[in-house]
A and B are shown apart, each in its own frame.
Chain A
Amino acid sequence: MSAVTAGTAPSRSLSTRMRRAARRRNMLVNAGAAVLGVVIIVWSLLPIYDMVMVSLEGHDDVFSSRIFPADPSASTYWQVITQGYWYLNFFWYQYWRSILLGVAVTGLTLLIGSLASFAIGRMRIRFGWVVTNSALLTYVIPSAFLAIPYYRIMQDYGLMNNLWSVIWALVTFATPYAIFIFQNYGASVPIELDEAARIDGASPFQIYWRIYLPLMVPALVAVGTFALLLAWNDYLFQFLLLSSKRSMTVPVALSQFLNSDEAPWNLMMATAIIYALPPVAIYYMFRRHMTAGLTMGGVKG
Chain B
Amino acid sequence: MDGTSVLRSGAASSAQALPGLRARRRFWRGGLQGSEYTWAIAFVVPYIAIFIVFVIYPIVYGFWLGSKPSLYPELFDDPVYKMTVVNTLLFVGFGVNVRNAIALLLSGFFMRKGWWVKGLLMIFVLPWAVPMLPTFISLHWMFDGDYGLLNNLLWSVFHINGAHWLDTRWLALGSAIVSFIWKWMPFWTIILLAGRMAIPTDIYEAAKVDGATGVKSFFHITVPMLANLYLMITLISTIWTLGDFNTIYFVTGGGPAMSTYVLANLGIRDAFDLADPRLGVAAVLTALPVLIPLTVILMRKLKHAEVQL
Contact = CB atoms under 8 A, between A and B. Distances in A.
Interface string B124-137: 11110111111101
A143 B236 CA distance: 13
A235 B263 CA distance: 17
Interface string B263-281: 0100110011000010011
Interface centre among B44, B57, B186 (most CB of A within 10 A): B44
Interface in A93-130: 111-113, 115-116, 118-120, 123-126, 128
Contact of A67 (B50, B127, B153, B287): B153
B125 to A, nearest CB: 8
Interface residues of A, number: 106
Nearest to A268: B137
Contact of B109 (A33, A269, A279): A33
B147 A269 contact: no
Interface in B143-167: 146-147, 149-153, 155-156
Interface residues of B, number: 112
Interface stretch (B23-31, B68-76, B77-85, B93-101): B23-31
A46 interface: yes
Interface centre among A63, A116, A143, A203 (most CB of B within 10 A): A116
B28 A67 contact: no
A228 to B, nearest CB: 10
Contact of A149 (B50, B61, B232, B250): B61
**For the complex, would chain B's binding face be called helix, strand, loop or mixed by DSSP majority?**
helix
Contact of A148 (B156, B229, B280, B302): B280
A144 B302 contact: no
Interface of A: 33, 36-37, 40-41, 43-51, 53-54, 62-67, 111-113, 115-116, 118-120, 123-126, 128, 131, 133-138, 140-153, 168-169, 171-172, 175, 179, 184-185, 187-188, 190-192, 194-195, 198, 203-205, 208, 229, 232-233, 235-236, 240, 251, 254-255, 258, 265, 268-269, 272-273, 275-276, 279-280, 283-284, 287, 291, 294-296, 298-301
Closest 3 CB pairs of A and B: A142-B243, A272-B134, A298-B191
8 contacts: A44-B127, A134-B51, A140-B299, A145-B267, A168-B54, A192-B21, A235-B246, A279-B131
